[in-house]
Amino acid sequence: ENRRRYPSQRFLAADLGNAVLSEALPRVELVFSKETLNHMYVQDAVQALQHFQRTGAKYFVTNITRGSPNYVGAQKAGHQNFVQYDFGLPPFNLRKLCKLIDCNRDDWTEFGLFALQPEP
């Protein structure tokens, strides 16, 4: 449907955990992802972030749960299950540039802006 409605745009369906995906992803400045990586095992989410980094993207905007125990993502039952991640903590270790907006103050969720590339 999107290809028909927006013929000048490129749409890509991809497995972000795939080890050879980086070449298929477009070069962009910013990657926006809402809850995509939260449905992945932690190892696959790390792989997906590495793909984003290899494209040369500088920034990553996503939802996080501050202080979340990221190791829970290694124990989840499947990709259909949601798990909370904080991409500023291990094993992700992204540099958080700022909080953009609170999503839910009761459970410490927010949208954050992260640097995908190391500091110059």
CA of residue 47 relative to chain centroid, distance: 10
Residue 20 within any structural domain of the chain: no
pLDDT tens profile 19-55:
666 677 888 899 998 888 988 888 889 999 999 998 8
Phi and psi at residue 112, in whole multiples of 5°? -125, 155
The pLDDT of residue 53 is 92
pLDDT tens profile 60-92:
999 888 877 877 656 656 666 788 899 999 999
DSSP state of 24: G
pLDDT tens profile 96-106:
997 766 666 66
The helix (H) or strand (E) run that includes residue 32 is strand 30-33
Contacts of 96 (CB under 8 A, 6+ apart): 87, 88, 112, 113, 114
Residue 107 within any structural domain of the chain: yes
Residue 11 within any structural domain of the chain: no
Q: Tell me how many domains the chain contains.
A: 1
Residue 79 within any structural domain of the chain: yes
Structural domain span for residue 82: 28-115
pLDDT value at 115 more than 70: yes
